[in-house]
């Protein structure tokens, strides 16, 4: 049985009570986490009861238990998917060897860095989203926001468990530091750029959960292949929860698009000014938000060529997306991968050793996956009989990391000069004026079954509940 | 209900096909990752379910973040949508008129048995307004619960030809909540002559909702060992012989619970009129026991029972039944094979108690339950019609009203 023991102070399925020192260390960290949650967690939720999904076991039947939970009573825990005694490392130089249950000394620093970087994104996104509850377009959406927040909180716990369990004193210090950095703080920022951006409105939130949580999915998938078995088992369970976050993003944007199309048809116009005057978000603004979030997110995959990525792979620490489903030799020596760079004002393609290009491999996998959802948003527009289509910008567009960092590239992939960039920037990226307009639409709707004017209701409720269910109760 | 003989086709002509809604699905791969049979696959467009592999175990349903996974269509097995069909879809096909999807989450083979059992009254009735909400199909045929036999007692006297048994099944830590009147399905181990798994047999629970032993996680069923078919030809019923021969400690695969209409009213003052024969007594025993345990609460509402068997020795639960006070239950026993006595059937006693029966039929607080062999169906209906006519009522007008009010429930097999 993989049942989670909720009678313990820290619910877990890792037999925490069998390791008293570790249990005490985590129980010492717990009040600091709760303090951080009270300060930086969702605003104004002290007394709300929220219809949440909570894991009662990690098998398929038990991890999606739904009930109203008072937010102050929510209990974060430590859950790993069951161990497979036969599991072997299936890529890199240790291919075929038994997976590690403890950290090998020579990989300690790299593994700690990987876990800290992943762990840092979890509280960061909660900090970025902490004001959104005040402008939720419905109880349904408010509930989804809370669900994402508590699960990101649990993902932080997952990484902190690994740090405490496997990295001794360094690990405990890193776990403390995870609660000390703050998203967007000038002195103590979060580690990665996208996690220091603001998430000021719900369109930004939906774009963030669609694109940036998808980066999370790809990073977690790559870590779920790891030869360090506790990391693989932890991230595997996190992935099951991550899927919901991307659902919120995909369906959220889809509902915004649907509502806009409905109003455009009613008014018989595609003039953004008239569409805005009707209180919905015009499609070009949605495209500009998309461009921004896409570019910021693909920066998260790191430099196009990276010796660190090669080291992580060769050492068996971090695999590729769906490593097990690929049919090469899983060592990659002598293989090449096509990367892009700017030469003489044009983007050209060049083959480089695949081991050094693994960040780019993961980035391209991510791009392929994101394109699918944009196609489904376009189906909504098509169904409404409108000609507009959303597109994915070129991967060189508005990059801050990697070979394109200092190059100006239009969304269609043309290298442009500074003057052309400046002239078109507000047509390509959400401007301060766009954001101010979107912000002007944000207002809290808390009557069950009611939705803000700028967004359509979802096709179905959560866990077969009706759309007008009281997903959040304010006590 | 105690359906054991091969009354439904060995393989139902209907398939409850599992489909994924391409408009709601976000292609997150969780279902494909979760499926224990690898029945789910995808291309760049859609995630799809192979109808030849999926066994409706529902393992993928709760992990799905979108709800897209939980779509089912009853289709003729021969024209199930192929993977190639599903990969082309942008939207799900509408439910087909000839194959309604309204089985309330119940697998097609179970729905087929239930439809047969309630055919005598024209389909299932509405549930009583005060019935508790039943749990349905928590353990579908693809993912049965495993129970342990903690009791197997013969109810009929030794020496009689009918071997009726009271089986107690304990579910340990597995949740398997039942209500009186619901059925559970037993999956006999092994395979039939054609190499296919045996199909599910349904049995009404004979114990009340709080367990055969109060507050224990156990359920009782009443099983008659089948030694001949309806035409009297010798035949060894697969499930019944399997169950009757089980020893304490044995494991049994159980699916369900099923049934959302044959349920008892929970409100104070509700009266029960129960008519049964043989193992059709199982739901009556469950309801009676429920009310007996609550007697001290003084909720009111009397019980009236018409119970038929061949002889007193073959009447299940005879001993405990006769110990119940007359102020609690009005018992009427009909025996059809007592030497030297005329054959008497439940319908004869209904006629004999006509005035009392008519009063109950006219009382909106009375809820009527019939369970037994198909053969009793017509006799009971005729008796009700006769009683009504005699007391100024019209049975044919009354029956639809009783069914709509959730006051008349019939299961025959």
Stretch among A66-75, A99-108, B322-331 having the lowest mean pLDDT: A66-75
Q: Of A166, A74, A106, A100, which is closest to residue A311 (Cα–Cα)? A: A106
- Specify the higher pLDDT residue, B128 or B13: B128
- Cβ of A250 and B26 within 8 Å? yes
Task: Say if CB B353 and CB B273 are below 8 A apart.
Answer: no
- Quickly state the pLDDT bin for B96 (edges 50, 70, 90): low
Asked if A379 has any chain B CB less than 8 Å from its own CB, the reply is: yes
Asked if B394 has any chain A CB less than 8 Å from its own CB, the reply is: no
Which one is the CATH code of A16-474: 1.10.420.10, 1.10.620.20, 3.40.220.10, 3.40.50.150?
Answer: 1.10.620.20
- Cβ of A464 and B67 within 8 Å? yes
Q: How many CB pairs below 8 A link A and B?
A: 49
User: Across the interface, which of A64, A373, A460 has its CB nearest the CB of B26?
Assistant: A373
Asked if A255 has any chain B CB less than 8 Å from its own CB, the reply is: no
pLDDT at A1: 39
φ and ψ at residue A358, rounded to 5 degrees: -65, -30
pLDDT in tens, B342-357: 999 999 999 999 999 9
**Structure tokens belonging to residue B180:** 């009186």
> Which of A2, A243, A367, A382 has the highest number of chain B CBs within 10 A, making it the mutation to test binding with B?
A243
The domains of chain A are located at 16-474
- Cβ of B65 and A244 within 8 Å? yes
For the residues of A337-372, what is the DSSP string, one character each? Answer: EEEEEEETTEEEEEEEEGGGGHHHHHHHHHHHHHHH
For residue A243, list chain B residues with Cβ-Cβ distance below 8 A: 26, 28-30, 63, 65
- Specify the higher pLDDT residue, B2 or A367: A367
Asked if B26 has any chain A CB less than 8 Å from its own CB, the reply is: yes
Asked if B172 has any chain A CB less than 8 Å from its own CB, the reply is: no
Q: Quick one: average pLDDT of A218-240?
A: 93
In the DSSP assignment, the letter for residue A387 is -
pLDDT in tens, B259-305: 888 999 999 999 999 999 999 999 999 999 999 999 888 888 999 99
| Distance in angstroms (rounded) separating the CA atoms of residues A39 and B215 | 45
| Distance in angstroms (rounded) separating the CA atoms of residues A463 and B391 | 51
Asked if B311 has any chain A CB less than 8 Å from its own CB, the reply is: no
- Cβ of A60 and B90 within 8 Å? no
- Residue B324, classified by CB atoms within 10 Å of its CB into exposed (0-12), middle (13-18) or buried (19+), is middle
Q: How many CB atoms sit inside 10 A of residue B310's CB?
A: 18
Q: Of A112, A99, A161, A80, which is closest to residue A316 (Cα–Cα)? A: A99
The pTM (predicted TM-score) of the whole model is 0.69
pLDDT in tens, B5-54: 444 444 556 778 899 999 999 998 889 988 999 999 999 899 999 998 99
For residue A60, list chain B residues with Cβ-Cβ distance below 8 A: 34, 59-60, 62-63
Stretch among A279-288, A292-301, B236-245 having the lowest mean pLDDT: B236-245
pLDDT at A288: 98
Asked if A243 has any chain B CB less than 8 Å from its own CB, the reply is: yes
For residue A379, list chain B residues with Cβ-Cβ distance below 8 A: 23, 90
φ and ψ at residue B92, rounded to 5 degrees: -70, 150
pLDDT in tens, A151-172: 999 999 999 999 999 999 999 9
State the alpha helices, DSSP H only, in B222-353. Answer: 238-244, 281-293, 318-322, 346-352
pLDDT at B7: 44
Q: How close B146 gets to chain A, by Cα (Å)?
A: 14
What's the mean per-residue pLDDT of chain A?
Answer: 93
Stretch among A210-214, B199-203, B205-209 having the lowest mean pLDDT: B199-203
Q: Dihedral of the CA atoms B397, B403, B409, B413 (nearest 10)?
A: 70
- Cβ of B24 and A459 within 8 Å? yes
Asked if A371 has any chain B CB less than 8 Å from its own CB, the reply is: no
- Cβ of B26 and A240 within 8 Å? no
**Structure tokens belonging to residue B31:** 């279902």
Asked if A247 has any chain B CB less than 8 Å from its own CB, the reply is: yes
| Distance in angstroms (rounded) separating the CA atoms of residues B216 and B218 | 6
> Which of A60, A67, A250, A461 has the highest number of chain B CBs within 10 A, making it the mutation to test binding with B?
A60
Sign of torsion over alpha carbons B369, B262, B112, B5 = negative
φ and ψ at residue A52, rounded to 5 degrees: -110, 155
Strands A472-474 and A48-54: what pairing?
Answer: antiparallel
Half-sphere exposure for A96 (CA within 13 Å, toward CB): 3
Per the listing, tokens 């639960």 go with B317
Cα of A156 vs its chain's centroid, Å: 13
Sign of torsion over alpha carbons B403, B407, B408, B411 = positive
Task: Say if CB B203 and CB B221 are below 8 A apart.
Answer: yes
- Cβ of B63 and A460 within 8 Å? no
pLDDT at B9: 40
In DSSP terms, B73 is beta-bridged to B17
Q: Quick one: average pLDDT of B65-81?
A: 86
Strands B164-170 and B183-187: what pairing?
Answer: unpaired
For residue B87, list chain A residues with Cβ-Cβ distance below 8 A: none
Asked if A119 has any chain B CB less than 8 Å from its own CB, the reply is: no
**Structure tokens belonging to residue A391:** 């597109």
User: Percentage of residues in chain A with pLDDT exceeding 70?
Assistant: 97
User: Across the interface, which of A247, A459, A464 has its CB nearest the CB of B26?
Assistant: A247
| Distance in angstroms (rounded) separating the CA atoms of residues A277 and A295 | 29
- Selected residues 203-222 of chain A with any CB under 8 Å from a CB in chain B: 217
pLDDT at A4: 67
State the alpha helices, DSSP H only, in A104-138. Answer: 108-128
pLDDT for residue B216 is more than 60: yes
C-alpha distances out from residue B272 to A123, B269, B304, Å: 59, 10, 6
Stretch among A358-362, B315-319, B383-387, B396-400 having the lowest mean pLDDT: B315-319
pLDDT for residue A58 is more than 70: no
pLDDT at B6: 42
Q: Which residue of A has its CA nearest to B30?
A: A240
Q: Quick one: average pLDDT of B386-395?
A: 93
User: Across the interface, which of A239, A240, A247 has its CB nearest the CB of B66?
Assistant: A247
Asked if A246 has any chain B CB less than 8 Å from its own CB, the reply is: yes
| Distance in angstroms (rounded) separating the CA atoms of residues B409 and A459 | 36
User: Across the interface, which of B24, B26, B27 has its CB nearest the CB of A460?
Assistant: B24
Q: How close B39 gets to chain A, by Cα (Å)?
A: 15
pLDDT for residue B230 is more than 90: no
Q: Of B199, B253, B208, B245, which is closest to residue B226 (Cα–Cα)? A: B245
pLDDT at B346: 94
- Cβ of A246 and B26 within 8 Å? yes
- Quickly state the pLDDT bin for A180 (edges 50, 70, 90): very high
pLDDT in tens, B78-95: 888 999 999 999 999 876
pLDDT in tens, A387-408: 999 999 999 999 999 999 989 9
pLDDT at A346: 92
| Distance in angstroms (rounded) separating the CA atoms of residues A363 and A375 | 19
For residue A372, list chain B residues with Cβ-Cβ distance below 8 A: 27, 44
Q: How close A283 gets to chain B, by Cα (Å)?
A: 20
Q: Which residue of A has its CA nearest to B66?
A: A247
Asked if B90 has any chain A CB less than 8 Å from its own CB, the reply is: yes
Task: Say if CB B169 and CB B148 are below 8 A apart.
Answer: yes
Stretch among A87-91, A211-215, B26-30 having the lowest mean pLDDT: B26-30
Asked if A140 has any chain B CB less than 8 Å from its own CB, the reply is: no
**Range B233-242, long-range pairs (CB < 8 A, 24+ positions):** B235/B5, B237/B4, B237/B5, B238/B4, B238/B188, B238/B192, B238/B198, B239/B4, B239/B186, B239/B188, B239/B198, B239/B201, B240/B4, B240/B201, B242/B186, B242/B188, B242/B189
Q: Which residues of B244-283 are buried (b: 16+ CB within 10 A; e: fewer)?
A: bebeeeeebbbbbbbbbbbbbbbeeebbbbbbbbbbbbbb
In the DSSP assignment, the letter for residue B54 is -
Per the listing, tokens 């809370």 go with A146
Q: Which residue of A has its CA nearest to B26?
A: A247
- Cβ of A243 and B30 within 8 Å? yes
For residue A239, list chain B residues with Cβ-Cβ distance below 8 A: 30
Q: Of B239, B249, B224, B216, which is closest to residue B316 (Cα–Cα)? A: B224
In the DSSP assignment, the letter for residue A100 is B
User: Across the interface, which of B27, B62, B70 has its CB nearest the CB of A61?
Assistant: B62
- Specify the higher pLDDT residue, B258 or B4: B258
Asked if B65 has any chain A CB less than 8 Å from its own CB, the reply is: yes
Maximum average pLDDT range among A6-15, A449-458, B38-47:
A449-458
For residue B26, list chain A residues with Cβ-Cβ distance below 8 A: 243, 246-247, 250-251, 373
pLDDT for residue B98 is more than 80: no
User: Percentage of residues in chain B with pLDDT exceeding 90?
Assistant: 51
- Cβ of B63 and A459 within 8 Å? no
Ordered by where they begin, the domains of chain B are 14-87 (3.30.70.20), 120-131+261-412 (3.40.50.80), 145-258 (2.40.30.10)
Asked if A54 has any chain B CB less than 8 Å from its own CB, the reply is: no
pLDDT at A8: 75
User: Across the interface, which of B26, B63, B70 has its CB nearest the CB of A240?
Assistant: B63
Q: How close B103 gets to chain A, by Cα (Å)?
A: 16
> Which of B66, B133, B136 has the highest number of chain A CBs within 10 A, making it the mutation to test binding with A?
B66
For residue B30, list chain A residues with Cβ-Cβ distance below 8 A: 239-240, 243
pLDDT at A62: 64
pLDDT at B100: 41
pLDDT for residue B97 is more than 50: no
Q: Of A127, A166, A122, A133, which is closest to residue A46 (Cα–Cα)? A: A133
pLDDT at A465: 87
- Quickly state the pLDDT bin for A60 (edges 50, 70, 90): low
Per the listing, tokens 């292949």 go with A225
For residue B34, list chain A residues with Cβ-Cβ distance below 8 A: 60
């Amino acid at each position: 049985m993989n049942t989670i023991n909720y009678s313990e102070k820290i619910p877990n399925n890792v037999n925490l009570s069998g390791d008293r020192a570790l249990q005490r260390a985590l129980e010492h960290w717990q009040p600091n986490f709760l303090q951080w949650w009270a300060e930086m967690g969702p605003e104004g939720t002290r007394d709300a009861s929220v219809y949440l999904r909570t894991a009662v076991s990690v098998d398929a039947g038990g991890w999606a238990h739904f009930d109203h939970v008072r937010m102050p009573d929510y209990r974060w825990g430590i859950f790993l998917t069951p161990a497979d005694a036969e599991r072997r490392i299936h890529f890199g130089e240790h291919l075929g060897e038994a997976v590690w249950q403890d950290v090998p000394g020579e990989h300690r620093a790299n593994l700690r860095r990987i876990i800290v970087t992943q762990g840092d994104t979890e509280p960061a996104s909660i900090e970025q989203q902490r004001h959104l509850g005040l402008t939720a377009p419905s109880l349904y959406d408010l509930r989804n926001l809370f669900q994402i927040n508590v699960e990101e909180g649990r993902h932080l716990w997952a990484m902190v468990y690994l740090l405490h369990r496997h990295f001794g004193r360094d690990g405990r210090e890193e776990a403390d530091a995870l609660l000390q950095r703050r998203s967007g703080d000038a002195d103590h920022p979060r580690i990665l750029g996208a996690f220091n951006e603001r998430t000021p409105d719900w369109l930004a939130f939906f774009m963030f959960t669609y694109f940036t949580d998808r980066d999370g999915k790809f990073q977690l998938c790559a870590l779920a292949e790891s030869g360090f078995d506790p990391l693989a088992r932890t991230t595997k369970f996190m992935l099951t929860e991550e899927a919901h976050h991307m659902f919120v993003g995909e369906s959220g944007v889809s509902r915004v698009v649907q509502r806009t199309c409905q109003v455009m048809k009613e008014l018989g116009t595609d003039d953004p000014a008239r569409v805005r005057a009707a209180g919905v978000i015009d499609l070009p603004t949605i495209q500009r938000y998309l461009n921004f979030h896409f570019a910021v997110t693909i920066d998260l995959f790191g430099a196009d060529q990276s010796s660190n990525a090669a080291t992580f792979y060769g050492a068996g620490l971090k695999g590729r997306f769906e490593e097990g489903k690929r049919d090469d030799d899983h060592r990659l020596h002598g293989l090449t991968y096509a990367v892009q760079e700017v030469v003489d004002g044009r983007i050209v393609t060049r083959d480089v050793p695949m081991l050094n290009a693994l960040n780019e491999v993961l980035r391209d996998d991510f791009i392929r996956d994101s394109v699918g959802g944009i196609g489904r948003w376009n189906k909504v527009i098509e169904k409404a009989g409108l000609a507009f289509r959303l597109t994915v910008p070129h991967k060189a567009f508005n990059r801050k990391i990697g070979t394109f960092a200092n190059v100006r590239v239009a969304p269609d992939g043309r290298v442009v000069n500074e003057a052309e960039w400046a002239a078109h920037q507000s047509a390509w990226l959400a401007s301060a004026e766009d954001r101010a307009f979107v912000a002007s639409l944000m207002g809290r709707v808390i009557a069950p079954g009611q939705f803000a004017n700028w967004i359509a209701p979802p096709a179905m409720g959560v866990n077969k509940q009706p759309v007008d269910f009281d997903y959040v109760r304010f006590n | 209900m105690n359906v054991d003989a091969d009354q439904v086709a060995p393989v139902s002509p209907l398939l409850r096909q599992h489909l994924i809604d391409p408009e709601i699905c976000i292609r997150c791969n969780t279902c494909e990752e979760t499926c224990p049979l690898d029945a789910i696959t995808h291309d760049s467009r859609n995630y799809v379910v192979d109808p030849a592999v999926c066994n409706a175990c529902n393992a993928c349903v709760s992990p799905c973040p979108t709800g897209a996974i939980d779509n089912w269509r009853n289709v003729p097995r021969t024209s199930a949508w192929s993977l190639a069909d599903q990969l082309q879809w942008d939207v799900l096909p509408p439910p087909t008129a000839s194959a309604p999807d309204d089985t309330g989450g119940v697998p097609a083979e179970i729905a087929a048995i239930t439809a047969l059992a309630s055919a005598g009254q024209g389909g299932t009735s509405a549930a009583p307004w005060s019935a508790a909400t039943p749990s349905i199909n928590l353990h579908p045929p693809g993912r049965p619960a495993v129970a342990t036999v903690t009791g197997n007692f013969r109810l009929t006297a030794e020496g009689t030809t009918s071997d009726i048994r009271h089986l107690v099944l304990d579910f340990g830590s597995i949740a398997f909540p039942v209500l009186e009147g619901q059925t559970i399905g037993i999956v006999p181990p092994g395979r039939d002559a054609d190499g296919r798994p045996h199909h599910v047999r349904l049995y009404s629970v004979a114990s009340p909702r709080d367990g055969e032993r109060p507050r224990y996680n156990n359920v009782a069923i009443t099983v008659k060992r089948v030694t001949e078919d309806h035409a009297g030809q010798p035949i060894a019923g697969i499930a019944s012989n399997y169950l009757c021969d089980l020893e304490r400690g044995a494991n049994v695969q159980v699916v369900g619970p099923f049934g959302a209409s044959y349920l008892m009213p929970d409100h104070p003052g509700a009266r029960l009129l129960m008519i049964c024969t043989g193992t059709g007594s199982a739901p009556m025993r469950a309801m009676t026991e429920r009310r007996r345990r609550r007697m001290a609460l003084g909720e009111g509402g009397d019980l009236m029972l018409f119970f038929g068997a061949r002889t007193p020795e073959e009447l299940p639960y005879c001993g405990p039944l006769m110990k119940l006070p007359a102020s609690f239950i009005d018992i009427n026993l009909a025996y059809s094979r007592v030497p030297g006595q005329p054959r008497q059937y439940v319908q004869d006693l209904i006629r004999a108690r006509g005035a009392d029966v008519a009063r109950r039929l006219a009382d909106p607080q009375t809820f009527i339950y019939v369970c037994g062999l198909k053969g009793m169906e017509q006799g009971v209906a005729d008796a009700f019609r006769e009683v009504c006519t005699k007391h100024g009522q019209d049975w044919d007008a009354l029956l639809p009203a009783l069914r709509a009010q959730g006051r008349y429930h019939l299961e025959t097999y």
